[in-house]
A and B are shown apart, each in its own frame.
Chain A
């Protein structure tokens, strides 16, 4: 176990090192700090002097070490646009993204477990087939398109007049297919509760929660089909196993077998895969936040790209890289603790 721990953690450090090299290369290749600092009128000699003073003429390795040293002390430079430390800017935007991810995760957990379990217990029921069909279609719909459709349906609203409205039935059908709209689709609302530090929460006010609905449903929609399929597949495998057959032979009730014995062993792989998927969600938050103008780190990153705010881009890469590496390492370690056979594959690779 110790060997596995050491190997996994040293690998995490190696990956973080590679990420920092890439981030440094981007900063070095794209950003010319001089251009941001001085005007046109500064002569070439003066520029050279400033370069020397800033250490831009030092060898690459020295520059990288300085960059890495500063990064370790929590200094990733100042954002050009916000003119304050990049990490501070990220800290201001991170709570919005985290709340979005939390909202989406809640939806995923509370929908995927019952649906997945149901589809595994009754694979032939029409409702299971319906859910599986919907999840196949769901995988093919890009997250930004789901978001746009949701905005059209529940924010703008759709009025349908496919049926003749002079009959009672036609009017009823028209009303049935029309949607109200009215849900907010822009930003987080203006009533946020201050929790601590830079965390402004939308979880505690009505408008804050209303603003959360559409973005978190959109974000959840991309992961939900994956989780339903995963839970169904794992559960079906568990239901085939000997101990479940034994429990049936013993005469335990179906509910007890399914929910107490089978579900427990189903959730183990699901939780580890889930850990990795939540890291991957970060990529999808960029898309979701763009559609809903959600003031989180994803939108901040995209704006940084259009503004060529190199230090902020680099800081975002480092922070997101760190989040990925930490979640992946933790998931691997937890899995290694729970399921010791994984150590063998860990050694081989």
Chain B
């Protein structure tokens, strides 16, 4: 048991993956920033000076205080307060948590759908392939954001504001997951088509293994690296989509804000000069999405066999 874990660690340390990570400054910095943000979000309840969900802690008299360093600031609120008097640092920590949860959840859902449909389309081919890929094409041609906005609008109209607010997190995960599965399905299908022709698949067929076993136990593990790359980028996309939906009022309610709804609620006060309510969460969102995208770029370079060998 111990030898297995030691050798696995050894293999990781000696791998090309770790080697190229160590040599890429952009990847190291991006990873460090992302790790910091994820940790800050996970431990938000411990780190945040105030609980933005707790109405008793909010004092409307503290509303629209500027960040420390500007005149009129209160040191109790390092990044200032929003229009309701909530501490902006705490709301951002909790908001990042919500955004990351939705981004991650949506990618898990779309990876599940994408892998399932991609495998089926690629391996079975024929009619299944034609139908699934047509659906994917049409959905992509509408752009995932448009699909998400329409589904969100229909859900909101049918559930009503209050009900939608309560289950918004699950709704958003569902909406974004369903809107973006074609991206992953296409990638999976492309690599399944390449894998399908290889000898080990023929060998498995000759041995009489069932279709399901060949698909999930033999082909799937060999298509994981492109899935990994695209899933990383998709987390960034899902976070942007969530922010866009929340900004349009089709996402998280203001009582339980994500980064997008923070930006939206702050936008109403920007003309009055309170820029920090909207621009600080905006900056956090951009940094979060940027580091994930940069990591995705790096992963693609490492895992792309063409570049690897060349």
Residues of A within 8 A of B (CB): 11, 15, 18, 26, 29-30, 136-137, 139-145, 148-149, 151-152, 156, 276, 279-280, 282-284, 286-287, 290-291, 301-302, 305-306, 308, 310, 313, 317, 320-321, 324, 328, 349
Contact = CB atoms under 8 A, between A and B. Distances in A.
Most chain B CB atoms below 10 A, which of A30, A302, A305: A305
Contacts of B294: 136
Interface string B155-179: 0111000000000000000000000
B44 interface: no
Contacts of B57: none
B84 to A, nearest CB: 19
A290 B248 contact: yes
Given A15-B138, A279-B143, A282-B146, 18 more contacts: A18-B138, A136-B290, A136-B294, A137-B290, A142-B285, A142-B286, A143-B244, A148-B267, A156-B275, A276-B141, A280-B146, A282-B143, A287-B248, A302-B249, A305-B156, A324-B142, A328-B141, A349-B133
Contact of A290 (B150, B243, B247, B289): B247
Interface string B271-297: 101010011001001100110011001
Contacts of B50: none
Contacts of A151: 270
Interface in B104-142: 130, 133-134, 137-138, 141-142
A283 B143 contact: yes
A175 B50 CA distance: 38
Contacts of A284: 145
Given A148-B270, A151-B270, A310-B157, A142 B130 contact: no
Nearest to B291: A140
Contacts, number: 101
Q: Across the A-B interface, give the 3 residue pairs with the lowest CB-CB distance, nearest first.
A: A283-B146, A280-B143, A140-B290
Contacts of A11: 134
B107 to A, nearest CB: 17
Nearest to B141: A328
A305 B278 CA distance: 24
B29 interface: no
A151 B297 CA distance: 31
11 contacts: A141-B286, A145-B285, A148-B263, A148-B279, A148-B282, A152-B270, A152-B275, A156-B271, A290-B248, A291-B267, A305-B156
A148 B281 CA distance: 12
B134 A349 contact: yes
Contact of B293 (A139, A152, A310): A139
B153 interface: yes
Nearest to B266: A148
A324 B134 CA distance: 15
A29 B294 CA distance: 43
A313 B152 CA distance: 12
B130 to A, nearest CB: 6
B10 to A, nearest CB: 35
Nearest to A287: B244
Contact of A313 (B157, B271, B293): B157
Nearest to B129: A349
B133 A306 contact: no
Contact of A145 (B145, B248, B282): B282
A140 B293 contact: yes
B158 A30 contact: yes
B100 interface: no
B279 A149 contact: yes
Contacts of A305: 153, 156-157, 250
Contact of A30 (B149, B154, B250, B278): B154
B235 interface: no
Given A148-B278, A148-B279, A286-B149, A324 B141 contact: yes
B293 A136 contact: yes
B134 A144 contact: no
B275 to A, nearest CB: 6
A283 B247 contact: no
Interface string B31-68: 00000000000000000000000000000000000000
B240 interface: yes
Interface string B228-269: 000000001000100110011110000000000001000100
Contact of B240 (A142, A283, A306): A142
A192 B103 CA distance: 43
Given A140-B289, A140-B290, A151-B270, A145 B149 contact: no
A144 B263 contact: yes
B244 A144 contact: yes
Nearest to A308: B157
A145 B286 contact: yes
